[in-house]
Structure 1
Amino acid sequence: MKHRLIQTLIILSISLCTQAQRINLDSLYDCLDKEITKSEKYINQRDQRIDKIKAKLAKTSAILDRHRLSWNLFKEYQAYMNDSAIHYLNYCIDIASKNKQSKLLVNDYIALTHQYAATGFYNEALEYLKYINGNKLKGQQLIDYYACCNHLYGEMGCYSKDSKLKDRCYRLSGIFRDSLYKKASPNSNIYLWRKVAELTTDNKYSEAMKECDKWMKQVKPNTHDYANMAFFRSEIYKGMHNIELCKYWLAISAICDIRNAVMDQASLWSLANMLSREGNLERSNRYVEYSWNCTQRYNTHLRSWLISPVLGVISDTYKTNLRKANYQLKSLIGAVSLLSVFLLASYIYVCHKKRQLSRARNELKTINMKLESLNSKLSGKNEELSSLNTKLSETNRLKDEYIGKFLSACSEYIDKIDNYRIKINRKLKANQMSDLMKMTSSDQLKQDEIKELFDNFDSVFLNIFPNFVVDFNLLLQPQHRIIPPSKTQLTTDLRIFALIRLGIEESSRIAEFLRYSPNSIYNYRARIKSKALCNRDEFEHKVKEIGMDM
């Protein structure tokens, strides 16, 4: 009970958002969502700190002060922008090397090796590790050196595909970790970090939790160190199959990282992965999108590679839900079909009775009057049924057209993804990292896919409604009629009202498809309606009737 009280008090200090929650995940998710919306504010705060340090650096001429300020810039960029962090570390190395500051130089090389190791550049890390003579190090420098080597070889072992190399790297990592244990204080953060990681890997979760409790008491809430501790705590709960507490501590870790404008984070996309497997696609998509944006800002291939499987899981879950929706749609169509048959049978039966009653109308005038009234009602129902059948036929026609095009597009997109995967695989095998950076930095692929999506939409829509452009222009004043760029393409104005013709009326849904803001779509619609021949309120209704007589 004492331990739980201490743990709860520490969690209470994280922020005002979590003061009213304990293991209430929904409330914690709400807090996380709010922090994501405020992420730009935290990023601006970090940028302001960086700008102040840069201003001091520009005005400082003293060598050691310039090294100190450059080192501070590296610390600010370390988990924020990898390229800038490495740039300022190299600047520190130049200063220390030119001025023969051997102690500073060793610290710089250790930090640079660790930065490369943490971001997946293992060849660079191994190269700079050669500049460090571990036999000459003492005190904290030796501890940092052991921690750096332990991390480097541990990462190499984790991602190596060769079993012999993997075992060798893990063995070296363990040797450096044991050396660190001998030199570091058992109560230091670096010691507890490695100890918790080791015990978790060895499935000794009870012991790992005890060490993690010590670690949690030593780190300040709302810091990057606290986020790191929370992530490893979630890993312990994951190993213990306590999924609720695992997600809870991942959310706590993500909140701390967001508030510290940390771009090198693993908690949020790990949480997104778990949520996607549970079917919570909306929240999972929101979290993985934010994580992807952070990864792009941090700019390392390793993090992008780690997030990619999460995107695949979300895609698979979406496809499963789509198949369920298609099954429900087929069931509904079957039910409507049965109902149509029943109504048709009823109509035939009533008509038969009507003929029988007509033969006896001279004798049964009262009954005949009732039958005439019933016949009138049936005629009205028949008209409603005819209208319903017309709409159903049009819906079936649209469904058949779009399902065929959708399956074709899915097949083509799978081939494109596979070709892209093969191309990336070849680049990886050839160690052409610069080419990979160029490929993944450009958004040309996205633009091409969007253009192809619009071209496919225009082609299919104009195939279904070949006279749409002509009929649409007849609703506009002559001087404001729209001429598309070609017979197989639509303009943005025409594309908006094409979606309205298909039943997509909400500006937000149209904006999502066309990559515009809802406000822009609203303005487009208002501008076109102002040029209509008919009343503004009737214009969109008339657009929906285009092609009804096909």
Structure 2
Amino acid sequence: MAVLLASLSLHIYPSEIDSLLRELDMSIRNRPQYTLKRQEQIDALQRKLRLSHSDQERYDLYRELFGKYRSYRMDSALWVANQRVELAKRMKNPLYIRSAELNIAEVMIGVAMYKEGLEILDGIKSADLDASGVSYYYYQYHQVYTLMADYAFSDQMKEHYRGLAYQYKDSIISMRRPGSQGYLLMMSEKLLYEEKYDEAIEILKSCYKTHEEKGYSVAIPSIGLANAYAFMGNTELQKKYLAISAIADIQAATKEYISLWKLANLLFQEGDIKRAYTYIECSMQDATFCNARYRTQEISELLPVISRTYENKLKEEKTQMVALVILTSVLLIILLIALMFIFYQMKRLNVARKAVNTMNEELKHINSDLHTLNDKLQESNQVKEEYIGYVFNMCSLYINKQEEQRKMLARKIKTGQLDDLYKTVNSSSFVANELKEFFYTFDSVFLKLYPKFIEQFNTLLQEDERICPKEGELLTPELRVFALIRLGITDSGKIANFLHYSAQTVYNYRLKVRNKSLLSKDEFMEAVQQIG
């Protein structure tokens, strides 16, 4: 079973770690964006400071600003801490003064000025602090002794400082609320020191889950898990959690971190030189930007080794590239000769093929033109059939009306109704009625041929300028003008004669509607003639 689990881990972890490393690579490329976001947060706090009205408000804002600068820019964090001290003294608040002095001590420790940091800490009494201040006070002692142990010259001094740091772990745990994240994280550090790795991992996984659920940064529990797995010799899980921690640090624009350069060292040992170089370069740039001296010192020990190996690898790759280029050039020359021979052999075939293709294209165009012509002829025949029937019907009706008119006039003359006869002859209602009936019949026949004419015509116009016939109308005068254009009558004079309008009226209708169009003049006219 153990062998099976080990085999499965070999197959599962690499793909997961590769995915994490790709995400980390992307985060490093996007680093300027994350830095800009953090700087914008700092700028917003500074604007609030300029607009603040009370010392208490300014003190609280400086505390928040210190939180943004720590692990980002140590020199700025020191300036903020000094401002807090000055403000606290002006407020005559001893608790605030001690809290601000602890900020200064934190910065001193962060820039490897351990002596100055310890002097500040030694000058503060825990009795002068509140509970959170005492926890912070103990943590700074723990931090300085941990760092001094890391850089001690002898094993005896290293153990001495580690012992002091261990004592402060207990002090910190005693000041923190049991079950809180700060309590659990410090408890996991203590268990790691005591080599109780399984218990530490259980606590750290719980913290990781809580941080993930609440949207906190998972950088701290991840680096703890990475350390735990390093002690246990599980390189794959160490690499996984170092990558997770590094991603969280980069995306939070944290500049003082440990995960990325440790991951660089691990990848360097595994032979991933390019990534190791990218990560160590990024770590050095961020540590320099932050002015975190002890991180710069740690990275400086690795950077020359990785950089030299990376440069050697580049030289080796360059040599291989030159050899590959020479080989490729020779192969290309051979290939070029072969291609020239093939080209010569295929040249005549290509000429014949082009001639055939040209003929095929011409035939396609001819067929297309014939199809278009057939469609137009079919449409023209349909229009002719409809309108021939319409003309014959109109002529028959007109003859009947003329006969009825003749009979009515004869009756009036016979009966001596001369006044009525005069009124009838001089009345324009007959012509008006005839025109009305003529328009109605024309509209009916046209809409029978092109039932969607109005709908499609309106799609060419602006939405609020569309033309809708009134109740009882089939086509408006404007639509009637463009109906004739659709039938192929484009001359305004002919349209005016056909509809009994003046040429100016037809021109005005065409201009008015064209100004409402969504298209240019030529495009609009072409689109009208394509309706149906």
Q: TM-score range by the shorter chain?
A: 0.5 to 0.7
Q: 1:308 Cα shift?
A: 1.5
Partner of 1:147: 139
Distance 1:304 1:327, change over 3 A: same
- 2:300 maps to 1:308: yes
Q: Distance in 2 between matches of 1:28 and 1:322?
A: 25
Distance 1:226 1:317, change over 3 A: same
1:269 touches 1:288 (CA, 8 Å); kept in 2? yes
1:276 touches 1:317 (CA, 8 Å); kept in 2? no
Alignment of 1:189-208 (within 5 A): 189-208=181-200
Partner of 2:459: none
Q: Distance in 1 between matches of 2:278 and 2:83?
A: 38
Q: TM-score, normalised by structure 2?
A: 0.54
| Corresponding residue pairs, total | 312
Partner of 1:94: 86
Q: Distance in 1 between matches of 2:21 and 2:313?
A: 23
Partner of 1:113: 105
Alignment of 1:74-93 (within 5 A): 74-93=66-85
- 2:252 maps to 1:260: yes
Equivalent residue for 2:205, pick from 175, 198, 213:
213
Q: TM-score, normalised by structure 1?
A: 0.52
Q: Distance in 1 between matches of 2:281 and 2:214?
A: 23
Partner of 1:296: 288
Alignment of 1:520-531 (within 5 A): none
1:224 touches 1:256 (CA, 8 Å); kept in 2? no
Q: In structure 1, the residue corresponding to 2:257 is in which secondary structure?
A: coil
Q: 1:89 Cα shift?
A: 0.7
Q: Distance in 2 between matches of 1:121 and 1:176?
A: 20
Alignment of 1:264-275 (within 5 A): 264-275=256-267
Q: Distance in 2 between matches of 1:193 and 1:226?
A: 12
Q: Distance in 2 between matches of 1:151 and 1:202?
A: 18
Q: Distance in 2 between matches of 1:53 and 1:322?
A: 45
Q: In structure 1, the residue corresponding to 2:179 is in which secondary structure?
A: coil
Map Cα deviations across residues 189-230 of structure 1 (whole Å, 9 max, x no partner).
222222222222333211111121232233246977411111
1:223 touches 1:260 (CA, 8 Å); kept in 2? no
Distance 1:167 1:284, change over 3 A: closer
Q: In structure 1, the residue corresponding to 2:218 is in which secondary structure?
A: helix
Partner of 2:497: none
Distance 1:95 1:147, change over 3 A: same
Q: Distance in 1 between matches of 2:135 and 2:152?
A: 26
Equivalent residue for 1:125, pick from 109, 117, 124:
117
Bigger drift between 167-176 and 228-237 goes to: 167-176
Q: 1:323 Cα shift?
A: 10
Equivalent residue for 1:60, pick from 14, 29, 52:
52
Q: In structure 1, the residue corresponding to 2:188 is in which secondary structure?
A: helix
Partner of 1:361: none
Bigger drift between 311-320 and 55-64 goes to: 311-320
Map Cα deviations across residues 417-438 of structure 1 (whole Å, 9 max, x no partner).
xxxxxxxxxxxxxxxxxxxxxx
Q: Distance in 2 between matches of 1:21 and 1:162?
A: 38
Partner of 1:287: 279
For 2:55, the aligned partner's letter is I
For 1:275, the aligned partner's letter is L
Distance 1:21 1:102, change over 3 A: same
Partner of 2:458: none
Map Cα deviations across residues 96-147 of structure 1 (whole Å, 9 max, x no partner).
0222111222222223222322332201211211331113434222222222
Map Cα deviations across residues 228-257 of structure 1 (whole Å, 9 max, x no partner).
111111111112222111111111111111
For 1:297, the aligned partner's letter is F
Q: Distance in 1 between matches of 2:15 and 2:163?
A: 39
Map Cα deviations across residues 244-299 of structure 1 (whole Å, 9 max, x no partner).
11111111111111111111111111111111111111111112222121112101
Distance 1:191 1:241, change over 3 A: same
Q: Distance in 1 between matches of 2:195 and 2:110?
A: 24
Q: Distance in 2 between matches of 1:263 and 1:224?
A: 18
Identity rate, percent: 29
1:264 touches 1:298 (CA, 8 Å); kept in 2? yes
- 2:31 maps to 1:31: no
Map Cα deviations across residues 353-373 of structure 1 (whole Å, 9 max, x no partner).
xxxxxxxxxxxxxxxxxxxxx
CA RMSD of aligned residues (A): 2.9
Distance 1:229 1:115, change over 3 A: farther
Larger Rg: 2
Unaligned 5+ runs, structure 1:
1-19, 337-550
Partner of 2:160: 168
For 1:283, the aligned partner's letter is R
Equivalent residue for 2:148, pick from 129, 151, 156:
156
Distance 1:42 1:328, change over 3 A: closer
Q: Distance in 1 between matches of 2:108 and 2:294?
A: 11
Distance 1:165 1:236, change over 3 A: closer
Q: In structure 2, the residue corresponding to 1:24 is in which secondary structure?
A: helix
Q: 1:168 Cα shift?
A: 3.5
Q: Distance in 2 between matches of 1:51 and 1:230?
A: 30
Bigger drift between 131-140 and 288-297 goes to: 131-140
Q: 1:58 Cα shift?
A: 1.4
Map Cα deviations across residues 13-51 of structure 1 (whole Å, 9 max, x no partner).
xxxxxxx99961222211111111211111111111111
For 1:277, the aligned partner's letter is Q
Map Cα deviations across residues 476-513 of structure 1 (whole Å, 9 max, x no partner).
xxxxxxxxxxxxxxxxxxxxxxxxxxxxxxxxxxxxxx
Q: 1:316 Cα shift?
A: 5.6
Partner of 1:231: 223
1:23 touches 1:248 (CA, 8 Å); kept in 2? no
